[in-house]
Amino acid sequence: MASTLLFHEKTPTPKEILEHCLRIITALKDKLHDTKDALSLEYLYRYFNLFNQLSDLVEKYDFITDLKSLLGLYRELLSSETLDFQGEPLEGLQVMGMLESRNLDFETVIITSVNEGILPSGKSNNSFIPFDLKVQLGLPTFKEKDAVYTYHFYRLLQRAKNIYILYNTEPDVLEGGERSRLINQLLTDENRSSIINESVASPIISPKQHVLESIEKDSSLLELIKAHALKGFSPTSLSNYVRNPIDFYKRNLLGIDDVLEVEETIAANTFGTIVHDTLEDLYTPFIGSILTEEKLVDAKTNVAELVKKTLC
């Protein structure tokens, strides 16, 4: 059952692949119902809605005829999907936005991402109306929005007994890693600064000592080098020896290649390997003989078969 859902005998059409995805979701739903995993079921429900939306679009628009177009549309719709956390209002942990906390009092408050540019959000250029024109006409600007969020911030802290304010100090993360001006206001307030405790949380980094790897050049290794020398050294193997002798030992002498990875498109080095191996198989029968036009024309008919053999 699982193999028929995941694998196809031939390349499916966008409509067929969407039908298969909906069947997989239905099968997963039956499995998750037994485990009572509410979060996974919510994820699955969102994917169910997404694939139903894609099915409607494929039915409505006839230009979605290949899987590449379908994949681009899927990623575009998936990036706009959100998952809301809903809990019991009177007990447990409440995850909510700043505006959802209006007129509510909590004994313990944890505010995350209190970085400048996030809380308050600051200046945003999402309007064609210039700032000066907004001020002249009395239209709301980002200053009014910042004032609203500042009010909700202090209102949330008003009756709380335990307050945890978190911000990220890493550069280039969350608007540059600068803490919010609201935190600086609390630290400069004489009535509050004495009861504020600051701490920095960071992961423990244990240095890793790299031991220089060496291999004794015994008689067996010398035999491997001589055997490889009889076949000839390629430019790639020689540069590999200069750059990383251990890698040369493992790959060129022992024949231990890296783990094969599935490539969506043919990389340049993979394409070069296919060309070299095909040309070698194509011209090997002509060693020791004189090339003629008839031989080359006959060999040309075997190119497709040799390329398939090299790919396999």
Residue 109 pLDDT exceeds 90: yes
Condensed to tens digits (0 to 9), the pLDDT of residues 73-83 reads 888 888 888 87
- For residue range 195-213, what is the model confidence (pLDDT) as tens digits? 889 898 888 888 888 888 8
Residue 102's pLDDT band, with cuts at 50, 70 and 90, is: confident
Average pLDDT, whole number, for the chain? 83
The model's pTM is 0.47
Whether 3 shows a pLDDT value over 70: the answer reads no
**Nearest-5° Cα angle at 272, 255 to 242:** 50
What is the average per-residue pLDDT within 36-64? 86
